[in-house]
């Protein structure tokens, strides 16, 4: 019987860059949530290891040993499995798609092979997003991505995710970042009773990669403007290193209407309205 694992989109509601280590890794402080949209992986027993990639956004996804799913299998110790990756998230989009896929592969293969999940310090070799994606729930992420802590429960909220079809390399965005040691979020995050209160808090925080990403891809400004212009949008911000952006909404009807409006105006963009992942 096949094992299934969801690989939900990761959204950085905030992303503060607080320093840089001597080895070049950047320190961060981020409030991360996961959306109900994402990729899906299935795993079935097989003597050797095989990866099949399909889905509406499968084009261009590498299927060789450089694919993070296969690299995750190697970190877990290797073995046989038939893995199918169904791609629904755009690549190099700031939504943690590859990292979420790799984390789902670790969870699914650990179940299939009867093995324990590796520690956060081990999976960071696959990428800084791997530890938080391994347990895809709302968390505060610090250090280089390996320090995770719970946060007060978030109020009901909905997101509209939009990507203009422009891929951005994370290294290039960090390379364009001028100031690499800025203020962290408050030591204790507030408990927000409504989406409006959360938006007020988020407006006092930042995504420090938004400005350098816009230098590399000015279309991000158009995405932010399109989201911010929608009725009911409480805040519009870029996620991760871009180019995907999100609009925050207090109810699903305004979010759905916003997604339809933006899709009609920009049919080549990838746009989805979504709740948070369960």
The predicted-structure confidence for 24-64, as pLDDT tens digits, reads as follows 999 999 999 999 999 999 999 999 999 999 999 999 998 88
Q: What is the 3-state secondary structure (H, E, C) of the chain?
A: CCEEEEEEEEEECCEEEEEECCCCCEEEEEEEEEEEEEEEEEEECCCCEEEEEECCCCCCCCCCCCCHHHHHHHHCCCCCEEEEEECCCCCCCCCCHHHHHHHHHHHHHHHHHCCCCCCHHHHHHHCCCHHHHHCCCCEEEEECCCEEECCCCCCCCEEEEEECCCCCCHHHHHHCCCCCCCCCCCCCCCCCCCHHHHHHHHHCCCECCHHHHHHHCCHHHHHHHHHHCCCCCCEEEECCCCCCEEEEECCHHHHHHHHHHHHHHCCCCEEEEEEECC
Reported as a pLDDT band with limits 50, 70 and 90, residue 65 is: confident
Verify whether residue 48 is a known catalytic residue.
no
- Asked whether residue 149 carries a pLDDT value surpassing 90, the answer given is yes
Residues of the chain with CATH 3.30.70.890: 151-275
Query: Which numeric CATH code is attached to 3-143?
Result: 3.30.230.10
Reported as a pLDDT band with limits 50, 70 and 90, residue 125 is: confident
User: Which member of 29, 39, 101, 129 is catalytic?
Assistant: 129
pTM value > 0.85: yes
Q: What is the structure's pLDDT at 120?
A: 82
Residues of the chain with CATH 3.30.230.10: 3-143
- Asked whether residue 140 carries a pLDDT value surpassing 90, the answer given is yes
Verify whether residue 10 is a known catalytic residue.
yes
User: Which member of 10, 29, 87, 101 is catalytic?
Assistant: 10
The predicted-structure confidence for 199-257, as pLDDT tens digits, reads as follows 999 999 999 999 999 999 999 999 999 999 999 999 999 999 999 999 999 999 999 99
Query: Which numeric CATH code is attached to 151-275?
Result: 3.30.70.890
């Amino acid at each position: 019987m096949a094992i299934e694992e969801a690989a939900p989109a990761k959204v950085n509601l905030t992303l503060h860059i607080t320093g840089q280590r001597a080895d070049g890794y950047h320190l961060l402080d981020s409030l991360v949530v996961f959306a109900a949209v994402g990729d899906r992986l299935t795993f079935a027993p097989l003597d050797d290891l095989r990866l099949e990639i399909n889905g509406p956004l499968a084009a261009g996804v590498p299927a060789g040993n450089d694919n993070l799913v296969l690299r995750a299998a190697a970190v877990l110790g290797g073995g046989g499995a038939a893995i199918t990756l169904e791609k629904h998230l755009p690549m190099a989009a700031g939504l943690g798609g590859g990292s979420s896929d790799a984390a789902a592969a670790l969870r699914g293969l650990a179940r299939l092979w009867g093995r324990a999940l590796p520690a956060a310090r081990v999976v960071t070799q696959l990428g800084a997003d791997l530890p938080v994606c391994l347990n895809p729930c709302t968390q505060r992420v610090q250090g280089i991505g390996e320090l995770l802590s719970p946060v007060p429960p978030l109020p009901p909220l909905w997101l509209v995710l939009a990507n203009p079809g422009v891929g951005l390399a994370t290294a290039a965005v960090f390379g364009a970042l001028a100031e690499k040691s800025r203020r962290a979020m408050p030591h204790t995050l507030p408990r927000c009773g409504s989406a409006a209160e959360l938006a007020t808090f988020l407006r006092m925080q930042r995504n420090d990669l938004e400005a350098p990403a816009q230098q590399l891809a000015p279309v991000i400004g158009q995405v932010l403007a399109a989201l911010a212009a929608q009725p009911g949008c409480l805040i519009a911000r870029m996620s991760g290193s871009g180019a995907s952006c999100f609009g925050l909404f207090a109810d699903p009807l305004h979010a759905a209407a916003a997604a339809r409006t933006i899709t009609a105006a920009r049919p080549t963009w990838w746009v989805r309205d979504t709740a948070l992942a369960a």
